Amino acid sequence: MESLAALYKNHIVTLQERTRDVLARFKLDALLIHSGELFNVFLDDHPYPFKVNPQFKAWVPVTQVPNCWLLVDGVNKPKLWFYLPVDYWHNVEPLPTSFWTEEVEVVALPKADGIGSQLPAARGNIGYIGPVPERALYRPGS
């Protein structure tokens, strides 16, 4: 039986092929896939339970961490910005190291709204898949 790492590598190869097809069809350079974010209950300080974007979890087995981002272009190693806030009050997931992290570039993202400064300035040809596109558009100082 194949190892999880080998199976995952084959899975990524398949997703990269599909991504190249989609990017060519829609004349895009890359896809930015958002894991999603927490939404607070109306007039409460507690969020609804987090449900990850299914398009995000198709790429990486990160299902319990909001505010993560994945940039895929069908050619280069997918880049995962993993939300890793400096927080003494809440339990924070550590940066992943597992069977799948060899196939993905994993970078810590300390602030939920910090993704804007991590992305290329020219974003007109990057497709967005997620619930809050304005997060990807924000650029500090703009």
77-112 per-position pLDDT tens digit: 999 999 998 877 777 888 999 999 999 999 999 998
Does the pTM surpass 0.85? The reply is: yes
For residue 126, give its domain range. Answer: 4-137
Task: Assess if residue 44 is contained within a domain.
Answer: yes
Rounded distance, CA 60 to CA 97, Å?
12
- Confidence (pLDDT) at 2: 75
User: 70: closest CA among 87, 85, 53, 86?
Assistant: 53
Spell out a b/e string for 4-39, using b for 16 or more CB atoms within 10 Å of the CB, else e.
eeeebbeebeeebeebeeebeeeebebbbbbbbbee
CATH code of the domain in which 55 resides: 3.40.350.10
Is residue 125 in a domain?
A: yes
Q: How many domains does the chain have?
A: 1
Q: Is residue 61 one of the residues assigned to a domain?
A: yes
The 10s digit of each residue's pLDDT in 35-58 is 999 888 899 888 899 999 999 999
In a domain, 114, yes or no: yes
Residue 84: count of CB within 10 angstroms of its CB: 20
Please indicate, yes or no, if residue 142 is contained in any of the structural domains. no
The answer to whether position 40 is within a domain reads yes
Establish if 97 belongs to a structural domain. yes
Query: Is 57 domain-assigned?
Result: yes
